[in-house]
């Protein structure tokens, strides 16, 4: 019997209230968008299964239920998370400043091994932009995070962001289960390429997946 999935990754969305976390999740899971503020009450997580290197990867993506407003996100929410998408809103400088606080919160509560990524959402709203792309890139570099500008509204980079996150987790996991040895197509050299390629692909993706409405 065919397995339903080969990998199960638990991901979380974190960031200030109103930055578009729920919208990004709904764009990714259902490919839809609502222009009104979405009450998160009742939504715990959404599931989408993707394919990576011929493997089925089930993504279980958790959304906060408004606790972010009170900074009461605790260890329970972070438990078992393999990837965290940190989201700010390019039209809201405070949400950008607060990313440092969220990183502190993650460092305090989450598994130190968790894969993190920074998303600059609402990049379709250029007329109201407060945070330049370079500022996001600088912050991401400082914390060695992958970075992308996204728009849940137009769909820019949403798919790419989740795929990049899933890929990073899978690479890390495969490397661990292989005890750092060769896997799949590559022998030792292939592995080294992967190590070096990680940062490269991070850079490549931030320029390749440029927000198209800039
Ligand atoms: N223009 C634009 N609006 C967005 C985008 N993402 C979310 N929004 C809007 O921002 C508001 C807050 O979104 P929501 O997903 O509820 O934010 P959350 O509190 O972080 O979950 C809603 O009115 C959304 O329609 C985006 O990419 N572009
Ligand atoms: Mg929400």
Kindly indicate whether the domain formed by 7-192 is annotated with CATH number 1.10.10.1100.
Answer: no
Going from the first residue of the chain to its last (214 residues), give the mean pLDDT of each consecutive group of 10, the final group possibly shorter: 88 94 94 73 80 96 78 80 98 97 93 96 98 98 97 98 98 83 40 38 42 50
Q: Which residue's CA lies nearest to atom 6 of ligand 1?
A: 20
Residue 136 beta carbon below 6 angstroms from any ligand 1 atom: no
- Burial pattern 165-191, b for ≥16 Cβ within 10 A else e, equals bbbbbbbbebeeeeeeeebeeeeeeeb
The CA 67 to ligand 2 mean position distance, Å, reads 9
Distance CA(189)–CA(146), nearest Å, equals 24
Q: What is the pLDDT of residue 149?
A: 98
Residue with tokens 């009461």, as numbered in its chain: 72
pTM of the model as a whole: 0.84
Q: Which residue's CA lies nearest to atom 13 of ligand 1?
A: 20
The candidate with the shortest Cα–Cα distance to 211, out of 162, 167, 160, 168, is 160
């Amino acid at each position: 019997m065919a397995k339903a999935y080969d990998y199960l990754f638990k991901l979380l969305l974190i960031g200030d209230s109103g930055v578009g976390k729920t919208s990004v999740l709904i764009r990714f899971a259902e490919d839809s968008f609502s222009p009104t503020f979405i009450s998160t009450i009742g939504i715990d997580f959404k599931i989408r299964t993707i394919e990576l290197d011929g493997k089925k990867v089930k993504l279980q993506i958790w959304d906060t239920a408004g606790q972010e407003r009170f900074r009461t996100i605790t260890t329970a929410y972070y438990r078992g998370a393999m990837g965290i998408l940190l989201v700010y809103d390019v039209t809201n400088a405070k949400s950008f400043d607060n990313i440092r606080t969220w990183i502190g919160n993650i460092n305090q509560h989450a598994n130190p091994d968790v894969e993190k990524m920074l998303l600059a959402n609402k990049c379709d709203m250029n007329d109201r932009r407060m945070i330049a792309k370079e500022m996001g890139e600088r912050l991401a570099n400082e914390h060695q995070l992958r970075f992308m500008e996204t728009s849940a509204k137009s769909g820019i980079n949403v798919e790419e962001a989740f795929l990049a996150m899933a890929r990073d987790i899978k690479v890390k996991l495969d490397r661990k289960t292989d005890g750092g040895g060769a896997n799949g197509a590559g022998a030792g050299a292939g592995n080294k390429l992967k190590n070096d390629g990680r940062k490269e692909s991070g850079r490549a993706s931030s320029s390749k997946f440029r927000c198209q409405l800039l």
